Structure 1
């Protein structure tokens, strides 16, 4: 067996619309086909032709929906995260700033890799990786030589 790529990540949430807004409007995913036979309310969010986020509404209250934000938005021990390979990551930064959503970023010089860390409305950590960021205008939290 050889793992090729991330197929999708399911997120169960009591904040379905806020979570959809985050992934669509701030990160640029698009709502697409979701089988109507599925019993719960939710959305499948696509990157191109691929559904990579499955949002499922928590209608039975089995999760409490409270957030405990981490100050540095890094993957603290035991916390799960999802990493997405992206292009033009600074466009996402502009949208996050405009929406008042905190993020943390860093740029690796060798090999070149620009990372952005941001929490969705459920406190789930999302890492955006741009391997060809070009020239970055504006401040960066950390530069790694």
Structure 2
């Protein structure tokens, strides 16, 4: 057996609607089918793939297990993303990755999960 692809990330949320609003309104994911689990949540899609699962209705762990630092998405239209983040008063950091010259934008979801958005090198520096 070998790993052939990334399937999805799961994030925990204190406020499902707030989390959904971030990932749908800010990042442009779409809510889609989710099996009828006994706990609240959402599956968010890019195309026909559910790439992000949100779990709610549980207490946030005091000492979270694991060492995942952030999740990263490939994105496009850097200027539109910067404008949207400003509109929603979401802090972000933007840098050009040396060597590859891609743009890396970092922000946090409503529950503090770190999100990286990678934009193509050919995109112009956004007007801040």
By the TM > 0.5 criterion, same fold?
A: yes
2:60 equivalent in structure 1: 63
**Does structure 1 residue 117 correspond to structure 2 residue 116?**
no
Q: Which runs of 5+ in 1 are unaligned?
A: 66-77, 140-145
CA gap of 1:33–1:95, structure 2 versus 1, over 3 A, is same
Q: Contact 2:19–2:109 at 8 Å: present in 1 too?
A: yes
Distance of aligned partners of 1:10 and 1:102 in 2 relative to their CA distance in 1, 3 Å threshold: same
1:81 equivalent in alignment to 2:73: no
Structure 2 gap segments, 5+ residues each: none
How do residues 128-139 of structure 1 correspond to structure 2 at under 5 angstroms?
Answer: 128-139=117-128
Partner Cα distance (2:38, 2:52) in 1: 17
The aligned residue for residue 99 of structure 1 is 88
Q: Distance in 2 between matches of 1:44 and 1:14?
A: 16
In 2, Cα distance between equivalents of 1:134 and 1:103: 18
Contact 1:40 1:56 (8 Å CA) reproduced = yes
For the 8 Å contact 2:31–2:42, the answer to whether it is kept is: yes
State whether structure 2 residue 124 is matched by structure 1 residue 127: no
Report if aligned partners of 2:79, 2:127 keep a CA contact under 8 Å in 1.
no
Aligned length: 124
Work out whether residues 89 and 133 of structure 1, in 8 Å CA contact, stay in contact via their aligned partners in 2: no
* Equivalent residue, structure 2, for 1:40: 39
**Aligned to 1:94, what secondary structure does the other structure show?**
helix
1:110 Cα deviation after fit: 3.0
1:89–1:128 CA contact under 8 A, matched in 2: no
